Amino acid sequence: MFNTERRGQVGIGTLIVFIAMVLVAAIAAGVLINTAGLLQAQAQQTGQETTSEVSDLMQVGKVVGFEKNNDAIADSVGESKTAADRTITHINVSVRLASGADPINLSKASYTLGTDDSASVVSGNNYTNDVVKFYQLQSLDKDSTILADQEDMMVVQFNLSNATGLDPLEDSQKLQIVTQAPAGGSSYKQLKAPKRIFEGESFIL
């Protein structure tokens, strides 16, 4: 005759093993789901950061250079005119959002100014340096440093005399400008001073 007690014990043991296997499988599935969710979130974040680096750009427009005794510069910085040395000490760079870019705070951007033999990285925080100033043009409130729409335009003025490692531009000297948005997107423009710089004049570079 069969031992019913032993068969019952075997059945209970099998059931316990089965339940344990189900629990292990459920835990493993939960871990996989959590891992997949984490990887998806990381991928989305990486994708957003990459997209921002590509799309969040400043469009650099007209650039005007000023000889140090130009009336507009003397008035804006509150300095008296000095002996002429016929160099460009200030440049005004018109910037706006590139197509498809999200809003950009220019005071949190960085700007690299370089010549053939030197370069300077300038923080956009105009409260901590005397190199950069912002002038609002189209569709912007006074003191705003944020480009929010395609219609917004701002002039970023750089004082080359105060930029560490740079000197004012001389005749025919080249200047490279790299603007870098907080998200990492960069725009590049190369300029060249005129062949002859006259005292008190301004020039489109």
Q: What is the pTM of this model?
A: 0.69
Reported as a pLDDT band with limits 50, 70 and 90, residue 17 is low
- With a pLDDT cut of 70, the percent of the chain lying above it is 69
Q: Looking at residue 173, what is its pLDDT?
A: 92
Q: Looking at residue 193, what is its pLDDT?
A: 92
Count of beta carbons in the 10 Å neighbourhood of residue 152: 19
Q: Which range has the worst mean pLDDT, 7-16, 87-96, 188-197?
A: 7-16
Mean pLDDT over the full length of the chain: 78
The enclosing H or E element of 135 equals strand 132-136
Q: How confident is the model over 125-138, as pLDDT tens digits?
A: 866 668 899 988 87
Q: How confident is the model over 48-102, as pLDDT tens digits?
A: 444 444 567 899 999 999 998 888 776 555 555 555 678 999 999 999 998 888 8
What average pLDDT does the segment 147-173 reach? 89
Taking domain 57-204, whether its CATH number is 2.150.10.10 is answered by no
116-124: long-range contacts, CB 8 A cutoff, minimum separation 24: 116/173, 116/174, 118/165, 118/166, 118/167, 119/165, 119/166, 119/176, 120/163, 120/164, 120/165, 120/166, 122/158, 122/163, 124/156
